[in-house]
Amino acid sequence: MSEIQPAGSPAPDVGAIEASLRAMHGPVGEPDTLPIEELSARRMALALGNMDPIHYDAAAARARGYRGIVAPWPLIWQAFFNCRTSPLVFDFGKATLHGGDAYEFHEPMIVGDTLTMTAAVTETSVKSGKSGLMAFVVSRREFHNQRGQLCAVMSTTNIRR
């Protein structure tokens, strides 16, 4: 495994790092599924302090135009942080840092739905900073319900040093 060199060391092979990053583009891992369960939706709403009846009462949710009890958006983290090993593998650097997340929300998640999460690396780049090179990798995760409707998108930036 090559490593990004500390200041004062010979320069790393930027071309090799860029080639390694380009090879990462595309699907990552296998799709994961997450059943949207009533107890999980209620617990997430309570944890958020969200007392809106659409998260607890199917009749209240239907009265407002939903198919059933609406799960709060942070429930998608349950699919993302499901303790599976990270399929991103780097052949350079020493550490990976979390650079941030961006979210898009579309179709509501309803109790009884089953979400399928797919992931893909969509962007990569190499930048030079004061302490050396940094590689940026953006992974896009899409969450679709069993009807094929897009519920949410989570884009995560990782920084490799």
| Cβ neighbours of 44 (radius 10 Å) | 19
Instruction: Assess whether pLDDT exceeds 50 at residue 2.
Output: no
Residue 37 φ then ψ, to 5°: -100, 145
> Burial, 135: exposed, middle or buried (Cβ in 10 Å; 0-12, 13-18, 19+)?
buried
**Nearest partner of 83 among 32, 159, 140, judged by Cα:** 32
Instruction: Tell me the pLDDT of the chain averaged across its residues.
Output: 89
Q: CATH number of the domain at 14-160, please?
A: 3.10.129.10
Per-residue pLDDT of 77-121, as tens digits, reads 877 666 565 678 888 888 999 999 999 999 999 999 999 999 999
Per-residue pLDDT of 116-133, as tens digits, reads 999 999 999 999 888 888
Q: What is the pLDDT of residue 87?
A: 72
Domain ranges of the chain: 14-160
pTM (two decimals): 0.85
> Burial, 65: exposed, middle or buried (Cβ in 10 Å; 0-12, 13-18, 19+)?
exposed
C-alpha distances out from residue 39 to 35, 36, 45, 111, 116, Å: 11, 9, 10, 9, 19
Per-residue pLDDT of 36-48, as tens digits, reads 999 999 999 999 9
